[in-house]
Amino acid sequence: MVESIANYSPGFKPPSYHEIRVKYLKEEVQATKDALKVHRTAWKKTGCTIMTDGWTDKRRRTILNFLVNSPKGIVFLKSIDASAISKTTNKICKMLDDIVEEIGEENVVQIVTDNAANYKAANELLMKKRKTLYWAPCAAHCIDLMLEDFEKKEPVHENTIPKGKKITTYIYSRTSLISLLHHFTKGRDLLRPGLTRFATSYLTLGCLLEHRGPLIRMFTSDEWKDTRFARTRDGSSVEEVVLDKEFWKSIVTCSKGCISYNASA
């Protein structure tokens, strides 16, 4: 971009704030609509799937995203601020029904949502009204719920996962320890658990197991012992977890259990 500007001439004038905010923004909106027309044509030929997912933004608003999937690809349709909408069965059904109406009932093959009871009931109502489509629960959400049951109901999982989180949280909240970790892992990072997805907890355990050797070398090294963290209660506690053979055996047990369960499911 800078080279192009320099090659133009000294008289180059950049676009004004008004041009970017009005003219060019309208052009981009129109380009997006034109791209969506191609997908709408494909929906009529092959049918499509409506997918919805909810999340909470930094202002604590409940946002529902609606996407449409077809052999042509996935497109983002719209977002709805559902903060003021009661998540009752009837209101969710009405919201989904409006999306089906917008796309065209004849074009919709199925709807995919999470497996919460209110969504399940809402989609059952919708299927009674819209006879040509059906509902399918999100596979990722179902697996997430399975892993949640493991973490909350199986003692070995319940005890091991917090220890894994303790290691990653302690290291990644201290810049000097991140640098020390990278020295022993040759620049590779550990996965850190997310706030909402239980699957990330098990991915983190798997990542810790993969880096078992470097972690043990790190917490038995002179570099670690020379840090001020090694002389603190929290540092000693994390070191104890890393050097505990039973902790690593528990990770193996957790990983094998999840693989076997999800494979059978």
**Whole-number Å distance between alpha carbons of 41 and 62:** 31
- Cα dihedral sign for 175, 181, 186, 191? negative
Residue range 59-75: mean pLDDT, rounded: 91
The residue from 71, 104, 137 where one domain ends is 137
Asked, for residue 4, whether it belongs to a domain, the answer is no
Asked, for residue 199, whether it belongs to a domain, the answer is yes
210 compared with 200, residue with greater pLDDT = 210
Please indicate, yes or no, whether residues 116 and 148 belong to a single structural domain of this protein: no
Please indicate, yes or no, whether residues 84 and 157 belong to a single structural domain of this protein: no
| Average pLDDT score, the chain | 88
What CATH code is carried by the domain that includes residue 75? Answer: 3.30.420.40
Please indicate, yes or no, whether residues 215 and 243 belong to a single structural domain of this protein: yes
Alpha helix positions (H), 65-173? 89-103, 117-129, 139-153, 155-172
Total domains in the chain come to 2
- Virtual torsion, Cα 213, 215, 221, 223, nearest 10 deg: 140
Structure tokens at 17: 């704030």
Asked, for residue 227, whether it belongs to a domain, the answer is yes
Please indicate, yes or no, whether residues 52 and 129 belong to a single structural domain of this protein: yes
Residue 28 domain boundaries: 14-137
pLDDT digits (tens, 9 = 90+) for 72-102: 999 999 998 888 777 788 888 999 999 999 9
pTM (2 d.p.) = 0.64
Asked, for residue 192, whether it belongs to a domain, the answer is yes
Spatial contact of 167 and 216, defined as CB atoms under 8 Å apart: no
- Taking each helix axis from N to C end, the angle separating 89-103 and 117-129, rounded to the nearest 10 degrees, works out to 50
Please indicate, yes or no, whether residues 53 and 94 belong to a single structural domain of this protein: yes
pLDDT digits (tens, 9 = 90+) for 144-196: 888 888 888 889 999 999 999 999 999 999 999 999 999 999 999 887 555 44
Please indicate, yes or no, whether residues 117 and 187 belong to a single structural domain of this protein: no
